[in-house]
């Protein structure tokens, strides 16, 4: 199932939560759920980059031509 991330929450520059389909989820919840669901950023009414987890335990987006849909550039909630 596709899920859409529109906002982030940070503590000292590290993402702790993301707003997923209108509800806040912790980074750990999302990392645990990634094998079962696909996560994408959703910016300006448009599906953006796919989110995946790294081997080091971080969330990141697949590179593309638009920096607006990077996790670091999402608005804060």
Domain boundaries, the chain: 2-73
CA atoms of 63 and 34, how far apart (whole Å)? 18
Note the pLDDT tens digit of each residue in 23-52.
Answer: 999 999 999 999 999 999 999 999 999 999
d(CA 15, CA 34): 16
Place of tokens 């971080």: 58
- Is the whole-model pTM more than 0.95? no
Mean pLDDT of 9-15: 94
pLDDT bin (cut points 50, 70, 90) of residue 57 is confident
* pLDDT for residue 39: 97
Give the pair of three-digit tokens for residue 29: 């919840």
């Amino acid at each position: 199932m596709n899920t859409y991330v529109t906002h982030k929450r940070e503590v000292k520059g590290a993402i702790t939560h993301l707003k997923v389909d209108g509800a806040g989820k912790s980074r750990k919840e999302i990392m645990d759920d990634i094998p079962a669901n696909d996560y994408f950023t959703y910016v300006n009414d448009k599906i953006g980059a796919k989110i995946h987890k790294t081997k080091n335990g971080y969330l990141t987006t697949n590179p593309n031509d638009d920096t607006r849909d990077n996790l670091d550039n999402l608005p804060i909630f």
